[in-house]
Each structure stands twice: as structure tokens, then as C-alpha cells.
Structure 1
Amino acid sequence: MNRLTLVHLTFLGVGKPPSTVEFSPGLTVIYGASERGKSYVEKAVDYMLGASELKPIPEDKGYSRILLGLRADDGRVLTLSRGLADSTIDVFNSDLRQLTTAPADATVSFKHSSTSQRNISRYLLKVLGIDGLKILKNSRGEVRLLNFRDLARLSVINDSRMGGERSPVLATGMPQNETGEKSVLKLLLTGQDEPVGPTAPGTVEKKVGKGQAEILDRLIDDSRAKLTIAANQSELREQLARLQGSLDNATSRSGQLMASRSALMQRRRVIEAGDRANQQRASEVRQLLSRFSLLREQYESDLERLRMVGEAGNLLGYFQTGTCVFCGAEPEHQHPGHHLAETTQLVAAVAAETRKTTELHRDLLSTIEDLDAQTADLNAESARHDDQLTAIDSELRALEEQLAPLTTDTSEVFAARSRLEQELAIHAQIEQLEEMKASLPNVLPVPPPARPDSIPAADISDFEQAIHQTLEAWHVPGENRVIYDPSSAEIAVDGRPRGSRGQGMRSIIHAAFAVSLARRNKARGLIHPGFVMLDSPVVTFRQAENREADPELMTYDVVEHFYRDLLDDPPSQVIIIENGTPPAAITERARIYAFSVDGSERFGFFPPQDQTLTD
């Protein structure tokens, strides 16, 4: 059969420099600082091989198309071209490294279909020469066509699966897929696909409950197909409880912030009301001052006129008592009606009016002074109101900044909770349908279950020995006795199931599983995609400090022997993604990419954001 070799992964975008990595046909190592696109390389390769989506990251902004170069053992060179959010993949029968307007040699869907050949799964399976092989679909013995994604899950392994507790065989973690996933491993270990056979004895077709049971089975299968989260009901409930806790915390925090905001708004309304009353009083005072100013001018004008009348009378002697200025008569000789009576009355009137006007003027000045003081107080109070409103507005902006992410996070949590509740509802529906089926009075007898675990003992033993030899070559501590349980798909090393080990041991055992499968099948000419991509297989290892106290600790040379074995006895094309620096001894024999480490020339998979083609 054919095998595939990854040639290159290239991101292209208008006005953006190409971002690419060239893969060695042997060992390629991508390592360096976190958040530099290392794991994104694995995700992008998986996306190009038919994964449904590639979650965007800030660094891929401006890039619109991905190219994945492939080479088959028969010499055929292919380039898969896919947009970052496309459901179709263009296939070019050449090594394409740039954007092109040339028509593709084929355009296929990313989604596998057993009834159509126009999808990437069937296309790649044809290249490998294994299209049409069948695996079990369920425990009732139904079969389905092999999907290339079934193979990709065993050769392209992300960091969460690498160190996860789930078996390497059960890649999706979905119960409805377990039979198929075990059947895939059986196919790889034996090279034999599943034959199409009857799923139940013929006499069952005549049973009274046949129609009801078939309908319920169909409803159960349809319900299981709607499940999208790789978790059982217990795990879903645990996730839902954690989400509810996060939601309660976010709601409590939001409530506190909203209460603070409400209190601030109430204070603001009180201050604004006081400021309006203050401004109204200030307006009234200004009107009074304007009127009193006119009155003061009037009083001062009256006093000035009285003063002028008095000065004129004094100058002419009209207001003086004594000898008449006209006839010289003494006062005692002046006859009645003389001007003395008149002038005396005028003097008294002028004096009285002057005193009255002066008193009014003095009272008015006191009132104006009091109103001026009130104006100053009102202006000061208005300034204090402005300062208080400015401070409150600043506090409100700070609260809004704190509320914005909480609102977004709460919306995301609500959406996640809704998805979990939908999943649990589907599980409950499946249970209800299964109970209804079990309660049928004439239920169809269940045919003997299909046995995806019926792998010949010789093939299982051979595979166990292959994993043992790999662990030994990597100097993993212990005797490395390997047992694979086909019924549970669990791997045990030295009597301990992989799922019960620490993350470091889980990762190295998973890596040994993938490498050994590729190495064994290459040697025997059995089915395999031809490449292995491992994200973080040895990142959690550290030097042993006390081997007796903690036998899980790795010896200091595990990493070195890990890389040396991949070079000395290559299982196929291997691509390793790690944070840690690989041993210096391999740098001349492997293709190395270093992202943002001392001495490296490359920032990451993508160039810095501000770099363009003109840089």
C-alpha cells in the first residue's frame, strides 16, 4: 500500500509574507516559547486532513489560505488548499507554494461520505489504496466504510490527548464511537476489514415487536448522532456543576458591581437635583442684585439731588434763619408770611428726605452685600457639585470597565451551560428510548454482539512487544511489560493501567503506542497513513531526584534516548512539537525549528504582526 509524507505547511494571505514549515521525511522537531504557534501547526495539519474547523488565533490575522504538501510512496505529489473557514478543499497535482488562480485538479468536501467520493477522506484513502475497507459501526454488527479521519486520529495527536487519561484507541471519547474505534485498531493490526454479514437471525424479522424495536433503534441512533461532546453523563454533570459555580461567582460579582453602580447613579441624581436648585437660587439672586443695583443708583441719584438743593439754598441764604437777606429786618420784626417760614420748612423737608434716603441706601447696601455673599457661596457650591459629578463619572467608567468582561464571560458561560444541558437532555432521551425498547413485550432478540476486540492473540502479543521495545529503547524506567486489553482498549505497563499513571507516563506511553504502531505496520507492510505528529510527548518529564520515593519520575536520559531512537530506527515520518530544547546531538540529523529562543532566527510560526511583504 501507499504511504503519505508531509512535505510542507504554508499559510498565505494578500500582503502577508508566507508562513511555512518544511517537514523532513525523517524527524522534524518544532520547539520554543509558548504561544508562538507550535501547537497551531498540529491543528492546521489536522484541519487540512479533514477536521471540521480551525479555531483562529490573533497571529493568523490577514492569512486566508492554507497549503499542505503531500508526497506518496509512488512519487505522486499533491497540494491540498483550503481557506481558513472553508468546507471544501482544492487538490492540485503539483507542489504548490503560492496563491494561484489556476483551476484545481479536484475540489472535494472536508466531510466524509460513504455515498460520495468527492470528499477528502475518500480521496486520500484512494491515494493510499485502501478506499472501500469496512469497519464495525456498532455492537449490532453493522459496518461502515473506513474514514481517513479514523487513521488521522491515531497519527496526529494533540497535547490534550497526549497526556489525557483516555485510551489512545478511543480518540473521540464518545461512547457511540467505541466499537468503530476498536475496529480501526483491529484493521491496522491485522490488515483485515470487517465482512458484511447479517446482523440478526432471519426468523427475527417475523417477530411482533420488530417494527417497534427498529423504530426505537433508529431513534436511539439518531439521538446518539446528535451528541457533540466527548463525555459521559457523569462528566457532563460535573462540567455543568463547575459552569454553574463559575456562573454564580460571575453573577455575584456582577450584582455587587451593579449595586455599586446603582448607588453611584442615585448619588449623581441627588447631586444634580441639588445643583439645579442651587442654579435656580443663583438665578434669583442675580435678578435681585440687578434690581437692587438700579434701586441703589436711584437712591444715590436722589441723595445727589438733595445735596445739590441744600448747597444751592445755603449759597443763596434761603435756608438760614435771622436777618432777612431781602429787607434787613430782624427776625422779631419780620411780619407773618415772610420767607422764613417757607425756607425753614424747605430745610426741614430736605433734611428729613436726606435722612430717610440715606437710611434706605444703607439698608440696601447691606442687602446687596448679603446677596453678594450668597452668590459666592452658591458659586462655590456649584464648583463642589461639578467636582463630585466628575468623580462619580470616573467611578462609573471604572465600574463599566469591570462589568464589560464579566458580561462577556457570563454570556459565554450561559452558552456553554446551554450546550451541556442539551447534551444531558439527549442522554436522558436515549435512556428513555432504551427503557421503552426493554419494556416491549415482544422485543426482538438481540443478535450476538459484534466483537471488535476479537483481535488474534498473536497480533496483540506482537503489538505489545513492539511497545515494550520502544519503551526500553527510550530508557523509560521499569520493566516495561505491556498488556493491551482489547475489550477496554486500555494499555497497562508493569501492571498499572495507563489512565491511572501520572501525566508524564501517560504521555510517553501514548507516544510509544503511536510510534510502535507506525513502526510495526511499516515493517509488515500493513495499513498506516505514513506519518506521526506528536504534540508534547515528553514535555512533562523531569530528572529523577528520588527514584525510590517516586518511581514515576523519569530518568534524566529519557528525552535524549527518545530522540535518538526516532533517528536510529525511524518508524516513519515523525514530527515532534515540544516546549523544551531537544538534545544538541540530533540537530545535524533532524530538521529543527526553534521559535523565540536564544539564538533562534524565527519569532514563531507566524512573523510578528507588523511584518508585511514590504518589510
Structure 2
Amino acid sequence: MSSSILINQLIVVGTRKNYAVNFNAGVNIIYGDSATGKSSILDLIDYLLGAKKFDLYPEIHAAARYAVLDVTLNEDRYSIKRDIFDASRPIEVYPCAFADIEKFAAKKYLPTFKTSTKYPDMEFFSEFLLSALNLTNLKIKQAPTRDDSKLVRLSFRDLIHYCYVNQDDLGSKKYFKPDNFSLQVKNAEVFKYIFNALDCQISELEQDISDKSQRKSEIEKKFTLVSEFLRESEFGSMLSLDDEVTKTDNDIALLKEQIGQINGRLTADNEVYRAVKSSLDEIELEKNALQQRMLDGERKVERFTRLHNDYLSDIAKFNSSLEARSIIGEIPEEIAMCPVCDGALQLESAKKNFDIAPSDKIKYELNSLKRRVRDTEQLINDSKSQWERDKTTLKVLEEDEKRARELLDQNTKELVSPYLAERDMHVKQLGELNQKRAELVSRLKIRNQHSLLTEQIKSLEISIRKLKEQVEKLKENAPSMADVLSNLADNLQRYLSFIKIKDPTGVSYTSDKFVPMLRGIEYGSIRSGGLRTIVGIGYLCSLMEEALTTQMSYPSFLMIDTVGKYLGKTKAQSSYQDETSSDEDFKEGVSDPQKYQNIFEHIISLSNKYEQNNQICQFILVDNDVPDHIIGELSGFIVAQFSSERVDGLPVGFIDDAPV
């Protein structure tokens, strides 16, 4: 039947740790408080499936490095790695689960159809996804009714419109009929493509078969050439290489354990070493203190010597003064002219008014200076004596230090060196083993890439076979859109009756843009936002149900953000006043908890039908407040639950170590 997308794990590789959500086939529910990162999980999945951008919120911006999506496309497992800070960088695709990325080389793809001079030969990510899902890669007309209409490339992103509805679009009046007319037309053509009802689809399928057959021949030729090279170079089989990696990992673990044991013995058996080292440290401290004291002593001697010389100089000056006075004798009384008033000035009388030192005062100062000279001489002698004693003590300490170092060296040689030698030997072996492991992993990557050629050949064979079957069916009985719309209307009718809305009549689809109608009213004209939400979910579920029994170009995969929007379950209901009529919501009874519960029960029932038919499907549903009376019934489907207050130990959000 239809192709399938199965998300296994979403991983945000962070700076502190990795953040992950695991998913299962069937129904997956994510719920909890607002602003805890629930919607970002769906946005990240969408981004890793090729969306143009991802709006970072602060916690992810601070904690994340890049994101990876572990996904199964039909029967094949891939890990899609993408830079979340630069959407223009190539997307890396590994042909394995996330845990095995180390063993495989990645193939890189351009994220959009915009060609790059930097990567001129790189393929487009959309083409990879379509090919992996065995979907035809074709072009569709921009204006189907015109013969000269330009053709535009069909993108995987065109299909996502029918696989993912975000919280802004769910229940919106313009979800199925946007203002952009050309986008309306393109959506209608994509809708036809999903049901293999495009006029050009048979010829495109035949061309696709031809392209895939040619690609298969090229890969088979490459496989043969590589096989011969690996065999002649005795490269080693994938099984033997894998065994070697496992054995090397065990040897590395054993060596690390032995190194740890050596470090333990080195610590335990080295008490003598630690005692000698402690004594040596004490000697070093005492020696440093002594050297500093000796340096201070030298500075004191120098300072006191300068002071001593100054005192001697002053004494010499005073002696000269006394000697001059004795030679000159007493000065006779003089009369001088005052420089101010030109009057006579008695110098002897003036002397009485000024402090001019007599001879006995000079002698007193001279004696004081001599005492200071004697004191400084004593200080100089004491400082020199202390310096000599310190020098002797320092010599003793240096001898003690020398003996301690000899003992330490001897102890190191006898006790430590053997341990170090043994440890160095193990460390060297560890380095060699790590190098050997890196070489083995490199070889294993090459072998895995070679093995991947076989998988690609098988995948192309399956794809070609399915395409041929599809062409034959289309040739025998090409589907009419009237039949398609009738089946979808029946699916939608059953869904609305199960939900128990009021008056589930007049259910159909418009014949031009394929928009659902209820009671003869087109979706966008329904005034109740809650009723539009119910109808919109039913529309998407109708596609999923049709994919159970009809050959469709559609992956059985559906993500719905904020299921309870306009149903009285969203706290921010008042912010959607322009999109809904409160009176109409009340009239329709959309806040009835039973209707909300019935939506989940219908989706679970649809998932069970897939399981019974041995087909794969996946629903990922996000909401804020799941009613307590049904949470028990849904607990088995919950894959992530968050609480901004960490109630019951729940994580605060997708980034679970963000500060509260």
C-alpha cells in the first residue's frame, strides 16, 4: 500500500549532554504545560525532514549543537543530521541508526532546490526522501488548464502539508484554502499526485522506472569493481572487522583497568616517598624564609651604613664650626643700618630675639651625633652577625636539602620508577590500540559503504517492481477524482459521527481545490473554530484511513500540534478570538470532553487497523492539558510529558536541565 515514515528517535546533541525523545509505531502523545518545548519537538522533526527554518528558543539556543532524526523510511533505517543554527548547510544522512553513526560515512544533500556553487554536484534532500519512500519524483503544472503552463518540481515539502499541521494552522480558516491562489492550485495538484490521478503520472512513472533501472546497473557495476579491489587487497570481511573492533574494545578496557590499578598501587606503596617529599617541602619553606631574612639583613646594613656616614659628616661640620669660632674669637658689637627703615640697628639686641646656637649648644648636638654613630655601628655589627649566623644555618639547610633530594631520587628509582615504567608501557599499548581501533573503524566504514551498495540494489529492485505494479494498475484502472473524493467523504462522515458532532450531514469535498465541506458549508466558512479543528483532524485522518486500502503516493505519517485547540482545552483560547465565534463554539458544544476523548479514540482505532493489516503508521500528537479522566487510558501512548513546576518529578521541558 502506501509508503511509511517511522520516527524512531529525535536527538538534540548538546554541549552538556544529549536530549532525546523515543517514538513508537502507532500513536505517540506529548503533553504538558505551555512553553516547555512540546511544539519544538514537532518543529525539529519537520526541520530534519527538510523545512526551511527552525525557530530556536533560548534553552535550545544555549544548550544545543545540532539535531539528529533516527528514522525508518519504508524498510530502511537512516539518521538525518542537520545544523540547527545554519539552515543553508548541507544535510548529512547516515544509512544506520543513531547509535551506529560512527561506523558509517554520511552522504550530504542540499536542503533546498537552490543550487550551490560551493557544492556543484550535490544532490537535493527532497529527492533523497522521495526516492527512499519509493515516491515518483516529477514536475507538476503551475496552471493545469493551460497547455503552455510552466512545470515546477514536486518537493517532499509539498507532501508534508498533508502530514503535519502546526498549532497556527490547525483550525485556521485558511488552512485548506490559503490566500495565495497559485499555492491553492499547487496544493490541488499535489492532492491529485497523492492519489496517482495526475494526467502525466503514468509517463512519469515509466521514466522513473527507466532512471532507477539505469541507476541500478551503475551501482551493480560499482559493486563488482569494489568487490574485486577489496578481495585482492585482503581488506577483511565486515564480520571479521566487526569482531576485531569488539576485541580491540575489550583490550582497551582491560588496559585502562590495569593502568588504574598501577595508579592505585603507586599511591598505596609510596608512604616513604610522601614522607621525604613532605620534609623536603618544609626545608624549602625554611630555606626561602632564611634567604629572605638574609636579604633584609643586607638591606639593613646598607641603610645603617649610609646613616652612620651621614652622622660622621655632620660631626665633621660641627667640629669645623667650633674650630672656626675659637680662631675668630668673640665678634664685637656692631651697629648696622636697618634695611626697612634706614635706622640704626643694635645686632646684640637683635640676637636676643633669635635662636642662634651658642658654642655649648653646638657641643651638645655634637655629643648627640656621636651617640647615634655608636648606635648605628652597633646595629650594623648586629645585622652583620645575624647575617653570618643565617648564612651558616642556610648552609646546613642546603646540606639537608641535598641529602633529602638524594633520598627522594633513590626512593623514586626504587619504588616509583618501576610503576612508571609499567604504566608507560601500558599507556603506549593503549595508544597503539586506539590507533588500531580507528583504522578498523575506518575499514568498517568502507565495508559498510560497500555493503550499502547491495542494500541500494535491493531497494532499487523493490522500487522498480512496485513502480511497474503501480503503472499496470494505473493503466488498467486509473482512479477518478470523483471516486477518490467520494471515499474520502465517507471516511470523514464516519469520523464525524464517531466524534458525535451535531448534525454530521452534507459531508463532501469541493471538486476544484478538494476542500472538505460540512452541512454544505465549505471548511473556511464554518464559524466555529472548534468545529473546524474537528473537521481538519478528520480530513487528515481520512487520508490515513484511505492509505490502508488504496495505492497512494503518501507516507502513512501524521503529526498534529495542539489537538485541543478551540475545544476549551487551551488556556490561551482568548488569543484566537478572530478565528472563532464563542457563540458558535458553545452552540456546537465543542468543549464537551467526550468529543475530545473521541478524537483520541478514533486515532487509536485507526492505528490498530494498521497493525491488524501488518502495515506501519505513526501518529505524533501534542497537547497542553489532557483531561484527567482520560489520561489513564492514554498513559500507554505518552512518550514525553513536561511540567514547568517539576510536578511528580517530571522534567521541566524538552531541555530538561534548563534553569527554572
The TM-score with structure 2 as length reference comes to: 0.49
Q: For 2:585 and 2:188, locate their aligned partners in 1 and report how far apart those are by CA, in whole Å.
A: 37
Aligned to 2:27: 27
1:477 aligns with 2:502: yes
CA distance in 1, matches of 2:620, 2:35: 18
C-alpha distance in 2, partners of 1:604/1:173?
A: 36
Cα distance in 1 for partners of 2:161, 2:481 equals 23
Question: Quick check: 1:122 aligned with 2:127?
Answer: yes
How do residues 412-423 of structure 1 correspond to structure 2 at under 5 angstroms? none
Query: Residues 2 and 145 (structure 1 numbering): CA distance in 2 closer, same or farther, change over 3 Å?
Result: same
Structure 2 residue matching 1:162: 3-state secondary structure: coil
After TM superposition, the structure 1 = structure 2 runs for residues 102-501 of structure 1, keeping only pairs within 5 Å, are 104-112=105-113, 118-139=123-144, 140=146, 141-168=149-176, 170=177, 173-190=179-196, 192=198, 194=200, 456-501=481-526
1:593 aligns with 2:640: yes
Paired residues in the alignment total 349
Q: Distance in 2 between matches of 1:476 and 1:602?
A: 36
Residue 508 of structure 1: CA displacement? 1.5
User: Which amino acid is the alignment partner of residue 67 of structure 2?
Assistant: I
For residues 6 and 173 of structure 1, do their structure 2 counterparts lie closer, same or farther at Cα, with a shift above 3 Å needed? Answer: farther
Deviations 1:222-249 (Å, cap 9, x if unpaired)? xxxxxxxxxxxxxxxxxxxxxxxxxxxx
Structure 1, residues 442-463: CA drift from partner, whole Å, max 9, x if none? xxxxxxxxxxxx9621111111
Give the equivalent residue in structure 2 for 1:530.
556
| Change in 2 beyond 3 A, CA 1:50/1:28 | same
Mapped contact 1:110–1:121 kept (Cα < 8 A): yes
Q: How many angstroms apart in 1 are the aligned matches of 2:153 and 2:134?
A: 14
Query: Does the CA-based 8 Å contact 2:39-2:561 persist in structure 1?
Result: yes
Q: Does 1:606 align with 2:607?
A: no
- Given that 1:24 and 1:591 are in contact with CA atoms closer than 8 Å, whether structure 2 keeps it comes out as no
Structure 1 residues 1-32: Cα deviation after superposition (integer angstroms, max 9, x where no partner): 53211111110123x22111111211111111
- Report the 3-state secondary structure (helix = DSSP H, G, I; strand = E; otherwise coil) of the residue aligned with 2:655: coil
Q: Does the 8 Å contact 2:52/2:87 carry over to 1?
A: no
SS in 1 for 2:46: helix
Percent identity, aligned pairs only, is: 19
- Name the CA distance, whole Å, in 2 between partners of 1:18 and 1:494: 50
Alignment partners' CA distance in 2, 1:195 and 1:149: 19
User: Which of 530, 545, 567 matches 1:504?
Assistant: 530
Q: Judge conservation of contact 2:95–2:104 (CA < 8 Å) in 1.
A: no
Alpha-carbon distance in structure 1 between the residues aligned to 2:568 and 2:63: 39
After superposition, the Cα gap between the structure-2 partners of 1:113 and 1:147, relative to the gap in structure 1 and judged at 3 Å, is: farther
Distance in 2 between residues matched to 1:577 and 1:534, nearest whole Å: 6
Aligned residue among 83, 88, 91 for 1:89: 91
| Post-superposition offset of 1:132 | 2.2
Q: Distance in 1 between matches of 2:199 and 2:650?
A: 48
Q: Describe the shift of the 1:193–1:474 C-alpha distance in structure 2 as closer, same or farther (beyond 3 A).
A: farther
Which sections of structure 2, spanning at least 5 residues, go unmatched? 204-478, 570-581, 611-616
Shift of 1:94: 0.9
- Are 1:191 and 1:527, in contact at CA under 8 Å, matched by a contact in 2? no
Alignment-derived partner of residue 70 in structure 1 = 71
For normalisation by structure 1, the TM-score amounts to 0.52
Cα displacement (A) at 1:33: 0.6
Instruction: Please report how far the alpha carbon of residue 601 of structure 1 lies from its aligned counterpart in structure 2 after TM superposition.
Output: 1.9
Find the aligned partners of 1:560 and 1:43 in 2 and give their Cα distance.
25
8 Å contact kept, 1:29–1:590? yes
Aligned-residue offset at 1:56: 1.2
The C-alpha deviation readout for 1:150-183, integer Å capped at 9, x for no partner, is 1112111101111211143x4x653222221110
Structure-2 separation of matches of 1:194 and 1:579: 44
Partner residue, 2:624:
579
Which position in structure 2 is the counterpart of 1:50? 50
Whole-Å separation in 1 of the counterparts to 2:202 and 2:517: 33
Please report how far the alpha carbon of residue 71 of structure 1 lies from its aligned counterpart in structure 2 after TM superposition: 0.9
Q: CA deviation at 1:191?
A: 5.0
Task: Please say which of residues 599-608 and 582-591 is displaced more in the overlay.
Answer: 582-591
**Structure with the higher helix share, 1 or 2:** 2
Contact preservation (8 Å) 2:36, 2:653: yes
Structure 1 CA distance, aligned partners of 2:171 and 2:45? 20
Alpha-carbon distance between aligned partners in 2 of 1:47 and 1:546, rounded to the nearest angstrom: 38
Q: CA deviation at 1:143?
A: 3.0
* Residues 606, 173 of structure 1: alpha-carbon distance in 2 compared, 3 angstrom cutoff: farther
Contact kept, 8 Å, 2:143 with 2:185, in 1: the verdict is yes
Task: Look up the match of 2:6.
Answer: 5
Specify whether residues 542 and 86 from structure 1 end up closer, same or farther in structure 2 by C-alpha distance, changes over 3 A only: closer
Structure 1 partner of 2:606: 569
Q: Deviations over 1:455-498 (max 9, x none)?
A: 62111111111111122222233224312113244322122222
Is 2:126–2:157's contact at 8 Å kept on the other side of the alignment? yes
Maintained 8 Å contact 1:33/1:596? yes
Distance (Å, rounded) in 2 between the aligned partners of 1:607 and 1:193: 51
SS in 2 for 1:557: helix
SS at match of 1:569: helix
- Measure the CA separation in 1 of the matches of 2:95 and 2:103: 12
CA separation in 2, counterparts of 1:130 and 1:563? 30
Classify the secondary structure of the residue corresponding to 1:70: strand
Q: Distance in 2 between matches of 1:117 and 1:123?
A: 11
Rounded Cα–Cα distance in structure 2 between residues aligned with 1:567 and 1:95? 27
1:499: how far off? 1.4
Give deviations 1:424-459, integer Å, cap 9, x for gaps: xxxxxxxxxxxxxxxxxxxxxxxxxxxxxx962111
**CA separation in 2, counterparts of 1:547 and 1:165?**
14
RMSD: 3.0
1:108–1:120 contact (8 Å) kept in structure 2: yes
Contact 1:39 1:535 in 2 (8 A): yes
Moved more, 601-610 or 49-58: 601-610
Q: Alpha-carbon deviation of 1:105?
A: 2.8
Q: Deviations over 1:323-373 (max 9, x none)?
A: xxxxxxxxxxxxxxxxxxxxxxxxxxxxxxxxxxxxxxxxxxxxxxxxxxx
Q: Secondary structure at the match of 1:159?
A: coil
1: CA distance, partners of 2:67 / 2:28: 20
Tell me the CA shift for residue 47 of structure 1: 0.8
| Aligned counterparts of 2:72 and 2:83: Cα–Cα separation in 1 | 21
For the structure 1 residues 166 and 116, does the alpha-carbon distance in structure 2 shift closer, same or farther, using more than 3 Å as the test?
farther
